[in-house]
Amino acid sequence: MSSDRGEGGATAVQLPMTPDVARGLRLGQRVRLHGEMTVTVGWVTHQRMFAVARGDGVLPVPLNNSFLHMGTCCYEAGGRILPHYVNPTTSTRFDAYLPTLVRRFSLTAIGGKGGVGPDVVAALKDVGGVYFSMPGGAAPALTSGVVERVRTGWDDLIEQFRLSTFRVDGFGPLIVGVDAHGNSIYEQLAIRANERLPAILQELERRRQQS
Protein backbone atom coordinates (compact mmCIF):
# COMPACT_ATOMS: atom_id res chain seq x y z
CA MET A 1 0.00 0.00 0.00
CA SER A 2 1.23 3.48 -0.69
CA SER A 3 -0.62 6.71 -0.26
CA ASP A 4 0.07 10.40 -0.46
CA ARG A 5 -0.46 11.17 3.19
CA GLY A 6 1.27 14.49 3.02
CA GLU A 7 4.19 13.48 5.26
CA GLY A 8 6.24 16.53 4.45
CA GLY A 9 5.62 15.94 0.77
CA ALA A 10 6.60 12.28 1.05
CA THR A 11 4.46 9.31 0.12
CA ALA A 12 3.64 6.85 2.90
CA VAL A 13 4.65 3.31 1.98
CA GLN A 14 3.51 0.31 4.04
CA LEU A 15 5.88 -2.63 4.41
CA PRO A 16 5.83 -5.37 3.31
CA MET A 17 5.26 -4.07 -0.18
CA THR A 18 3.76 -6.13 -3.01
CA PRO A 19 5.51 -6.02 -6.40
CA ASP A 20 2.51 -4.11 -7.74
CA VAL A 21 2.94 -1.37 -5.13
CA ALA A 22 6.67 -1.25 -5.83
CA ARG A 23 6.01 -0.91 -9.56
CA GLY A 24 3.79 2.08 -8.79
CA LEU A 25 6.61 4.05 -7.17
CA ARG A 26 8.31 6.64 -9.35
CA LEU A 27 12.03 7.23 -9.68
CA GLY A 28 12.96 10.16 -7.45
CA GLN A 29 9.74 9.95 -5.43
CA ARG A 30 10.14 10.92 -1.78
CA VAL A 31 8.69 8.34 0.63
CA ARG A 32 8.40 7.42 4.30
CA LEU A 33 8.16 3.79 5.40
CA HIS A 34 5.73 2.20 7.87
CA GLY A 35 5.71 -1.37 9.13
CA GLU A 36 8.63 -3.72 9.67
CA MET A 37 11.97 -3.80 7.89
CA THR A 38 15.03 -5.98 8.40
CA VAL A 39 18.50 -4.44 8.27
CA THR A 40 22.23 -5.05 8.67
CA VAL A 41 25.57 -3.56 7.64
CA GLY A 42 27.51 -6.79 8.07
CA TRP A 43 29.71 -8.23 5.36
CA VAL A 44 29.69 -11.59 7.10
CA THR A 45 25.90 -11.33 7.41
CA HIS A 46 25.65 -11.06 3.64
CA GLN A 47 27.89 -14.10 3.27
CA ARG A 48 25.59 -16.07 5.55
CA MET A 49 22.49 -14.85 3.73
CA PHE A 50 24.11 -15.77 0.44
CA ALA A 51 24.75 -19.29 1.76
CA VAL A 52 21.10 -19.58 2.80
CA ALA A 53 20.03 -18.35 -0.63
CA ARG A 54 22.12 -21.16 -2.11
CA GLY A 55 20.30 -23.71 0.05
CA ASP A 56 22.52 -23.90 3.13
CA GLY A 57 20.32 -23.40 6.22
CA VAL A 58 17.57 -20.89 6.92
CA LEU A 59 17.44 -17.23 7.80
CA PRO A 60 17.18 -16.58 11.55
CA VAL A 61 14.51 -13.90 11.02
CA PRO A 62 11.99 -13.56 8.18
CA LEU A 63 12.75 -10.74 5.74
CA ASN A 64 9.16 -10.27 4.58
CA ASN A 65 10.44 -8.81 1.31
CA SER A 66 12.34 -5.90 2.93
CA PHE A 67 16.08 -5.67 3.51
CA LEU A 68 18.01 -2.43 3.98
CA HIS A 69 21.65 -1.51 4.67
CA MET A 70 21.48 0.30 7.97
CA GLY A 71 23.69 0.38 11.05
CA THR A 72 21.89 0.43 14.38
CA CYS A 73 22.73 1.03 18.03
CA CYS A 74 20.01 0.19 20.57
CA TYR A 75 19.29 0.09 24.28
CA GLU A 76 16.74 -1.64 26.48
CA ALA A 77 14.07 0.34 28.33
CA GLY A 78 10.94 -1.01 29.95
CA GLY A 79 11.31 -4.37 28.27
CA ARG A 80 11.57 -2.82 24.79
CA ILE A 81 14.60 -2.38 22.58
CA LEU A 82 14.77 1.22 21.44
CA PRO A 83 17.18 2.92 19.03
CA HIS A 84 19.97 5.21 20.15
CA TYR A 85 20.59 5.89 16.46
CA VAL A 86 20.37 4.36 13.00
CA ASN A 87 22.11 5.31 9.77
CA PRO A 88 22.68 3.76 6.30
CA THR A 89 25.87 2.34 4.87
CA THR A 90 27.22 2.23 1.32
CA SER A 91 25.23 -0.37 -0.61
CA THR A 92 27.66 -1.06 -3.46
CA ARG A 93 29.84 -2.89 -0.92
CA PHE A 94 27.35 -5.75 -1.22
CA ASP A 95 26.75 -5.74 -4.98
CA ALA A 96 28.23 -9.23 -5.31
CA TYR A 97 25.54 -10.72 -3.08
CA LEU A 98 22.50 -8.55 -3.69
CA PRO A 99 21.23 -9.88 -7.06
CA THR A 100 21.00 -13.39 -5.59
CA LEU A 101 19.42 -12.15 -2.37
CA VAL A 102 16.88 -9.98 -4.19
CA ARG A 103 15.73 -12.89 -6.38
CA ARG A 104 15.84 -15.64 -3.76
CA PHE A 105 14.01 -13.67 -1.07
CA SER A 106 11.73 -11.71 -3.45
CA LEU A 107 12.92 -8.40 -2.02
CA THR A 108 10.52 -5.66 -3.06
CA ALA A 109 12.21 -3.06 -0.83
CA ILE A 110 15.95 -2.70 -0.42
CA GLY A 111 17.88 0.42 0.54
CA GLY A 112 20.98 2.12 1.81
CA LYS A 113 23.09 4.96 0.54
CA GLY A 114 24.92 5.63 -2.70
CA GLY A 115 22.96 3.26 -4.94
CA VAL A 116 23.57 -0.24 -6.31
CA GLY A 117 25.18 -1.67 -9.44
CA PRO A 118 23.46 -2.69 -12.69
CA ASP A 119 23.08 -6.37 -11.76
CA VAL A 120 21.10 -5.38 -8.66
CA VAL A 121 18.96 -3.02 -10.75
CA ALA A 122 18.18 -5.91 -13.11
CA ALA A 123 17.28 -8.22 -10.20
CA LEU A 124 14.91 -5.58 -8.78
CA LYS A 125 13.22 -5.29 -12.16
CA ASP A 126 12.78 -9.07 -12.27
CA VAL A 127 11.07 -9.33 -8.87
CA GLY A 128 9.30 -5.96 -8.84
CA GLY A 129 11.38 -4.20 -6.22
CA VAL A 130 12.84 -0.76 -5.55
CA TYR A 131 15.96 0.66 -3.89
CA PHE A 132 15.32 3.37 -1.32
CA SER A 133 18.10 5.95 -1.02
CA MET A 134 18.63 7.02 2.59
CA PRO A 135 20.37 10.25 3.49
CA GLY A 136 23.83 9.60 4.91
CA GLY A 137 24.93 11.30 8.10
CA ALA A 138 21.34 12.08 9.07
CA ALA A 139 21.02 9.77 12.05
CA PRO A 140 18.83 12.08 14.19
CA ALA A 141 16.22 12.43 11.43
CA LEU A 142 16.15 8.76 10.48
CA THR A 143 16.11 7.54 14.08
CA SER A 144 12.98 9.56 14.81
CA GLY A 145 11.07 7.25 12.44
CA VAL A 146 12.14 4.05 14.20
CA VAL A 147 9.78 2.77 16.90
CA GLU A 148 11.62 -0.27 18.25
CA ARG A 149 13.66 -3.33 17.40
CA VAL A 150 11.40 -6.36 17.37
CA ARG A 151 13.77 -9.25 16.73
CA THR A 152 17.34 -10.12 15.84
CA GLY A 153 19.12 -13.12 14.37
CA TRP A 154 22.72 -14.28 14.25
CA ASP A 155 23.28 -12.76 17.68
CA ASP A 156 26.83 -14.11 17.78
CA LEU A 157 27.73 -11.10 15.60
CA ILE A 158 28.36 -7.55 16.81
CA GLU A 159 25.25 -5.40 17.08
CA GLN A 160 25.32 -3.68 13.70
CA PHE A 161 26.10 -6.94 11.89
CA ARG A 162 23.11 -8.87 13.26
CA LEU A 163 20.07 -9.36 11.10
CA SER A 164 17.70 -7.01 12.93
CA THR A 165 14.04 -6.28 12.31
CA PHE A 166 12.69 -2.86 13.27
CA ARG A 167 9.18 -1.50 13.45
CA VAL A 168 9.13 1.90 11.78
CA ASP A 169 6.56 4.65 11.53
CA GLY A 170 7.29 7.38 9.02
CA PHE A 171 10.89 6.30 8.48
CA GLY A 172 12.61 8.70 6.13
CA PRO A 173 12.67 10.80 4.13
CA LEU A 174 13.87 8.32 1.52
CA ILE A 175 14.10 8.71 -2.24
CA VAL A 176 13.28 5.98 -4.75
CA GLY A 177 16.80 5.66 -6.14
CA VAL A 178 16.08 2.61 -8.30
CA ASP A 179 12.57 1.86 -9.49
CA ALA A 180 11.02 -1.52 -10.31
CA HIS A 181 11.30 -0.92 -14.05
CA GLY A 182 15.07 -1.00 -14.37
CA ASN A 183 15.73 2.72 -13.91
CA SER A 184 18.40 4.02 -11.53
CA ILE A 185 19.03 7.63 -10.55
CA TYR A 186 22.64 6.68 -9.87
CA GLU A 187 23.16 5.11 -13.28
CA GLN A 188 21.48 8.07 -14.98
CA LEU A 189 23.65 10.54 -13.08
CA ALA A 190 26.83 8.58 -13.83
CA ILE A 191 25.97 8.41 -17.54
CA ARG A 192 25.18 12.11 -17.60
CA ALA A 193 28.39 12.97 -15.73
CA ASN A 194 30.42 10.88 -18.20
CA GLU A 195 28.71 12.63 -21.11
CA ARG A 196 29.54 15.99 -19.54
CA LEU A 197 33.14 15.10 -18.74
CA PRO A 198 34.72 16.08 -22.11
CA ALA A 199 33.14 19.54 -21.89
CA ILE A 200 34.18 19.83 -18.23
CA LEU A 201 37.80 19.04 -19.13
CA GLN A 202 37.64 21.54 -22.02
CA GLU A 203 36.39 24.20 -19.65
CA LEU A 204 39.22 23.44 -17.23
CA GLU A 205 41.67 23.90 -20.12
CA ARG A 206 40.03 27.19 -21.13
CA ARG A 207 40.31 28.51 -17.60
CA ARG A 208 43.95 27.36 -17.32
CA GLN A 209 44.73 29.32 -20.51
CA GLN A 210 43.07 32.40 -19.04
CA SER A 211 44.92 32.27 -15.74
Partner 1 sequence: MSIVPGGAVYMSIGYEQFREVARDLYSRALKKIPADTHRALAAAEQVETDPRARDNLRFLRGVAKTTEQQSRHACSDAGFPTYTVKIGTNVTLSGDIRRGFVDGFAEMVDTIDPPILQFITHPLTLERSYSGKDMPILSFDVIDGADYVEVICSPKALGSGRWAALEIFSYPTLADIEAYVMDCVMKAGSQHCPPVVIGVGIGGSFDNAAKIAKSAVLRPIGTAHPEPMVAEMEERLLAAVNATGFGPMGTGGDTTALAVHVDYSAGHGFVPVAVCFNCWINRRTVARISDAGEITHVE
* Interface residues toward partner 1, by CB under 8 A: 28, 30, 43-44, 71-73, 75, 84-87, 89-90, 92, 113-115, 133, 135-141, 143, 158-161, 173, 175, 177, 185-186, 189-190, 192-194, 196-197, 199-201, 203-205, 207-208, 211
Quickly list DSSP for 11-27: EEEESS--HHHHHTPPT
Q: Which is nearer to partner 1, 64 or 176 (CB)?
A: 176
| β strands within the chain, DSSP E | 2-7, 10-14, 30-40, 66-77, 80-88, 109-112, 130-133, 146-153, 163-178
Q: Which is nearer to partner 1, 133 or 165 (CB)?
A: 133
Q: Which is nearer to partner 1, 1 or 201 (CB)?
A: 201
48: burial class by Cβ within 10 Å (0-12, 13-18, 19+)? buried
Give me the least distance between CB of 192 and partner 1, in Å please.
Answer: 6
Give me the least distance between CB of 67 and partner 1, in Å please.
Answer: 18
Q: Which is nearer to partner 1, 44 or 51 (CB)?
A: 44
Q: Does residue 51 sit in helix, strand or coil? A: helix
